[in-house]
Amino acid sequence: MPFTFERTAIPGILLIEPHIVADGRGFLMETYKRSEFARAGIDEPFVQENHSRSQRGVLRGLHYQRAPHAQSKLIRVLSGEIFDVAVDIRPDSPTAGRWVGVTLSAANHRMVYVPHWCAHGFCVMSEHAEVAYLTTTEYAPAHETGFMWNDPVIGIAWPVSSPMLSERDTRWPPFVLERVKS
C-alpha cells in the first residue's frame, strides 16, 4: 500500500504518510490515490487545489466554510515546514472544541486530512513555506467564517507567540460552539 493512514486524537482527522521511492535521481511519491483514500474512509471528491507561500511567523487561520459549502481538505507542504491545526467545531461531538496539531514539511512528506467539520489553520516555522491543499468544495466567500487564532477556550499551543496575520484574521471573534450551528 502506498500510504499509511494514522489516526489522531480526534477520530476522522488523519495523518497520512506516502510511500516514497527514492534513488540517486531524487524521489517519486503518490500524493493522492482515490482507491487507497477510500479504503481509509476518505471517499470525497476533491474539486479545487490551492497553493500558498508564506514567510516565517505567518499564521493563516482559523477558518472554515459553513454548509452547504463546508470543505474537507488534504494538506501538504511543498517546501519548508508548518505547524498545521484542525479544530473540531461540531456542536454535538465529544471532541467539540478540541484541536490536533501536526508538523508537516517538505522533508517529512506527511499530509493531513482535515474533515469539513473542522476549522483549519497553520503557521510557518521555516524561513518560507509553500503549502498545497485540495478541497472538496470550491471557495465560497459568503460562507467563510472563523475564530481567533489564540482563543483561550481552544488553547492551541502554537509555536509562535506574535504571528503575522492578515487583516481578516485579526478580526475573527472568539470561538463559541453554539455559533457554529448557524
Report the distance separating Cα 28 and Cα 135, nearest Å: 23
Please give the share of the chain, as a percent, with pLDDT higher than 90.
95
Q: What pLDDT was estimated at residue 177?
A: 72
Given pLDDT bands bounded at 50, 70 and 90, which one contains residue 167? very high
- CATH tag for 3-181 (out of 1.10.10.10, 3.40.50.720, 3.30.420.10, 2.60.120.10): 2.60.120.10
The predicted structure's pLDDT at residue 1: 56
pLDDT at residue number 2: 85
Mean pLDDT across the stretch 81-108? 97
The pLDDT value recorded for residue 178 is 60
The percentage of residues in the chain with a pLDDT greater than 70, rounded to a whole number, is: 97
- Residues 31-53: pLDDT tens digits? 999 999 999 999 999 999 999 99
138-161 per-position pLDDT tens digit: 999 999 999 999 999 999 999 999
Which three cell numbers, joined as nine digits, stand for 166? Answer: 492578515
Residues 6 or more apart in contact with residue 27 via CB below 8 angstroms: 20, 21
**Contact of 97 with 179, CB cutoff 8 Å:** no
Q: How far, in Å, CA of 21 to CA of 27, rounded?
A: 5
Task: Give tens-digit pLDDT for 106-144.
Answer: 999 999 999 999 999 999 999 999 999 999 999 999 999
pLDDT of residue 97: 95
Q: Which of 32, 51, 63, 69 is catalytic?
A: 63
Concerning whether 128 is annotated as a catalytic residue, the answer is no
Of 64, 69, 113, 133, which one is the catalytic site residue? 133
Give the per-residue pLDDT at 180. 57
> Looking at residue 182, what is its pLDDT?
44
Kindly report whether the peptide bond that precedes residue 62 is cis, defined as omega within 30 degrees of 0: yes
Which pLDDT band, with edges at 50, 70 and 90, does 181 fall under? low
Residue 54 above 70 pLDDT? yes
63 is catalytic: yes
